[in-house]
Structure 1
């Protein structure tokens, strides 16, 4: 929900109602392939409290792997949420690594006070969005043409 909130709140609202995208779509499969095949020898997946699925590098850093940096903020916020959850709920402090294997880039992400406040504002925004009775207003964005929810918005 963190990523959806930062990409499109309308998409978040649909997803919160069980209106899911086609997981077999090419874009989704490409992302899954990059995630499954990158850093396999250095990271391990964990499910926490039945809520979070996160990857941890051998170094102990939490890793988020994405195909492209085109939607960098949503990916960063997802990683920051993992770090926030670990710290707030489980009292575990970790740093994160945001990686784009196809671009051969990666960066360290830390949960500082500013990031913590942004995560908490995001969580409040998510709750506000999903509690609405109708989806948020349409807002044309550069990536709408590639969105798997476009039939709900533009048809």
Structure 2
């Protein structure tokens, strides 16, 4: 068995067993950060969290809390996976903007994968951008499953590093709440 498959097998074995601690406790936000900026993920994994009171974060929280609120319920799994289920049974992820669509899609796919692999619950997903009046159905097919497993392997590698990944200028660095750590 390759080291990569071993990482997934070990992660899943720990998640399925309440008496076993996984090497890394992966959250949906970590999946999103992995696809936005691995350096941001590394900082967050070390407890260097951003200011949750900024305007952008507050706006995102407001949109999330006030969109589809009568048609969805929130659930917390294993103390760190927080997802919303629509009345239809689909898992929903709500975002302010589609500017970072792939990271949001991967976060939702991680939830679907986690439900299937850890809890043996098959669900489909809906990615919603209420301000843009845009919705996308998301399904965990074999290609998506492979993407999620690559992401889980990647997150484990980033988080277990002794130092943050190299600095890499990206188009959204100027809006990032970690910019003072990276660029000063």
User: What is the number of equivalent residue pairs in this alignment?
Assistant: 155
Q: Deviations over 1:6-59 (max 9, x none)?
A: 000000000000000000011100000000000001000001121211000000
Separation (CA, whole Å) in 2 of partners of 1:61 and 1:151 = 38
User: What does 1:50-129 correspond to in 2, within 5 Å?
Assistant: 50-129=79-158
Q: Deviations over 1:41-80 (max 9, x none)?
A: 1000001121211000000000000000000000000000
Scaled by the length of structure 2, the TM-score of the pair is 0.84
Provide structure 2 residue ranges, at least 5 long, that are not aligned to the other structure. Answer: 1-29
RMSD: 0.4
Separation (CA, whole Å) in 2 of partners of 1:22 and 1:88 = 33
Report the counterpart of residue 20 of structure 1 in structure 2: 49
Separation (CA, whole Å) in 2 of partners of 1:144 and 1:51 = 27
Provide structure 1 residue ranges, at least 5 long, that are not aligned to the other structure. Answer: none
Scaled by the length of structure 1, the TM-score of the pair is 0.99
Separation (CA, whole Å) in 2 of partners of 1:125 and 1:28 = 26
Report the counterpart of residue 66 of structure 2 in structure 1: 37
